[in-house]
Chain A
Amino acid sequence: MIEIKDLTVKYGKKTVLDRICLTLSDERFTAILGKNGSGKSTLLSCISRQIKYSGEIFLDGKNIDTIGQKEYARSVSFLPQSLTKPAVTVKELTEFGRNPYTGLDGRLSTEDNSIVEEALKTTGMSEFSQRLLPTLSGGERQKAYLSMIIAQQANHILLDEPTTYMDICAQEEFIELIALLKQQKKSPTVVMHDLALAVKYADDIVIVEKGNCIFNGTKEKCLDEKAIEKTFSVKRIDTENKIFFSAQ
């Protein structure tokens, strides 16, 4: 479980996150929603220790500042919004996910290799394993990175807008894959823009607005309180057991 207490981030005089308090529960899919510039990505960057902040973040009761780099990488994995496309194969990229478990030379054990193979199977990227990242489409590349994250075997998986470069079908397929990770007792936390996909797959919703956390709770509670409608000024449409949102 990740607990965040009074998390504040300032860039110069501008307060990007203002005393945020929230909890990310284990084995739950949490969607972080909010308008552009609301502070969603900054929130993930803090949890993944990419930027400096004031306040406290606890991982299973332990302040994350006191946890070593590799130890933390075994518990929390992170994919930022923009990813590089170095000239490495999909398999090599997936093997990078084992870095927190290997020595300085990065030599993989038999167990590491089977975890890598399994991760490639999970994302359906086995047949692409020898392809170089620059030769893949945007969606395939995201899946390759997801293979790496799965191989990392961290319980908390933080993803910042992972479906940005995908078409609608690929987006849903990708989010479905992430939701399936709960079966492996993982806790994905994903910054999302697609509200319909968020309410379809997420268990919990966090809504950030102007640096403040204005909602943190279950999806059902979020829908009951009309938190999404109020924040995004959208109209909810319920049809055939599906929920959509459209501009008012």
Chain B
Amino acid sequence: MKKRNYIILFLALLVSCALGIIFGSVKIEPEMFIKGLVWSEDALNQSIIIYHLRIPRVLAGLLAGVGLSISGVLLQSVTGNDLAGPNIIGVNAGAGFFCILMLSFFPTMLKFLPIAAFTGAFLTTLLILLIVKKVNSKRSTVILAGIAVTTLLNAGISFLSLLDSDVLASYNSFSIGGLRGAEIDELIVPGIIIAVCFIISLLFSRQTHLLCLGDSVASSLGVKTKTVRFIGLICASASAAAVVSFAGLLGFVGLVVPHISRRICGSEQKNLLITSGFVGAILVIIADLVGRVLLAPTEIPVGILMAVLGAPFFLFLLIRRRTDND
């Protein structure tokens, strides 16, 4: 991977962040925008929009993109299945179920929402792996087990939502996934979790990459396959869960981004993680921006836009795999 590519991606990220801050459902003239940036007295409204709405929102998009992309890359590596992603194999639903469980029984303990999301995501991942181990290790089993577990967890989420109308209201926006109302304060803990997961993933990237050879070959090359897979799963669950805690069940980013990134940088794990981080952040920030301006002043949640883009992409992957197999 050439440095030039990273520079291009970095510049593209800066441009998307700038666009995300400049444009939105409320149109700000250039002169007022500059005044708003410097907290000029005659542009206080613009300052509030920029610093309290748009910048936190762009940061949330950046974190969501990076977190879900890392999770997708790791899940696809440790399961050996390029159709795996945090929402396809039930990780998002697991995190969501535990968040709703928390909201239902401990509605005031919102600070513990990331922990609840992490626990749910991690337990779901373990459950999927357990099912795969019991049934067989075919790639399709991971997907089918994920669908089954996701359906079950979604049923649980719906049931808990029905019991409490307040929970139902918060669940509706939560399930679509969006960045509306993001606040800097609530991004700090998820940001730290995602950063730590990213660093650990980079440290173990070479060993994780070797899993593509299958467990037998990887272990005969000196890789502690169980340990590497376990670390990969923890990082994947934690980063996806961190995103769920502030952006809800934002789908398809973790599935789509690693595939786009492979086209840019190949399959080497370290390059793939870094490139996916950039691509994921750019994709979510731009999708959120489009959602804000397309039908302004009405907003389309970024989760809906990602689903519109992601679902056909998922079908494209399935068709391409079938063609490859034929």
Contact = CB atoms under 8 A, between A and B. Distances in A.
B13 to A, nearest CB: 25
A7 interface: no
A77 B220 contact: yes
A69 B217 contact: no
Interface stretch (A13-21, A86-94, A161-169, A210-218): A86-94
Contacts, number: 74
A96 B216 contact: no
Given A69-B224, A87-B262, A104-B207, A49 B219 contact: yes
Q: How large is the interface on B (under 10, 10 to 19, 20 to 34, 35 or more residues)?
A: 20 to 34
A128 interface: no
B203 interface: yes
Contacts of A74: 222
Contacts of B210: 96, 99
Interface in A32-74: 45, 48-50, 69-70, 72-74
Contact of B219 (A50, A88, A92): A50
B204 A83 contact: no
Interface in A80-130: 80, 82-84, 86-88, 92-93, 96-97, 99-100, 102, 104-106
A106 to B, nearest CB: 4
Contacts of A88: 212, 267-268
A50 B223 contact: no
A152 B219 contact: no
B133 interface: no
Contacts of A87: 262, 266-267
Contacts of B15: none
A78 interface: yes
B206 interface: yes
B261 to A, nearest CB: 13
A76 interface: yes
Contacts of A82: 214
A80 B216 contact: yes
A66 to B, nearest CB: 16
B258 to A, nearest CB: 12
Contacts of B204: 104
Given A83-B214, A87-B267, A92-B268, A104 B203 contact: yes
Contact of A84 (B206, B213, B268): B213
A192 interface: no
B231 to A, nearest CB: 11
Nearest to A82: B214
A96 B213 contact: yes
B222 A78 contact: no
B221 interface: yes
Contacts of A79: 217, 220
Contacts of B216: 45, 48, 50, 78, 80
B213 A72 contact: no
Contacts of B268: 88, 92
Given A104-B206, A105-B206, A106-B206, A86 B213 contact: yes
Contacts of A49: 219
A72 to B, nearest CB: 7
A83 B217 contact: yes
A86 B266 CA distance: 11
A72 B224 CA distance: 12
Nearest to A80: B216
A100 B217 CA distance: 12
Nearest to A81: B216
A88 B141 CA distance: 25
Contact of B217 (A70, A80, A92): A80
B212 A78 contact: no
Contact of A76 (B203, B207, B213, B220): B220
A42 to B, nearest CB: 13
B212 A86 contact: yes
A149 B71 CA distance: 32
Interface string B216-237: 1101111110000000000000
Contact of A97 (B80, B214, B221, B266): B221
A102 B205 CA distance: 13
Nearest to B215: A50
Most chain A CB neighbours (cut-off 10 Å) among B207, B210, B215, B220: B220
Nearest to A50: B216
A145 B262 CA distance: 23
Contacts of B206: 99, 102, 104-106
A186 B214 CA distance: 24
A16 B205 CA distance: 37
Interface in B166-212: 203-207, 209-210, 212
A191 B219 CA distance: 20
Contacts of A104: 203-204, 206-207
8 contacts: A49-B219, A50-B215, A50-B220, A87-B262, A87-B266, A88-B267, A99-B222, A99-B223
Nearest first, the 3 A-B pairs at minimum CB distance are A106-B206, A73-B222, A70-B222
Interface of A: 45, 48-50, 69-70, 72-74, 76-80, 82-84, 86-88, 92-93, 96-97, 99-100, 102, 104-106, 145, 152
Interface of B: 80, 203-207, 209-210, 212-217, 219-224, 262, 266-268
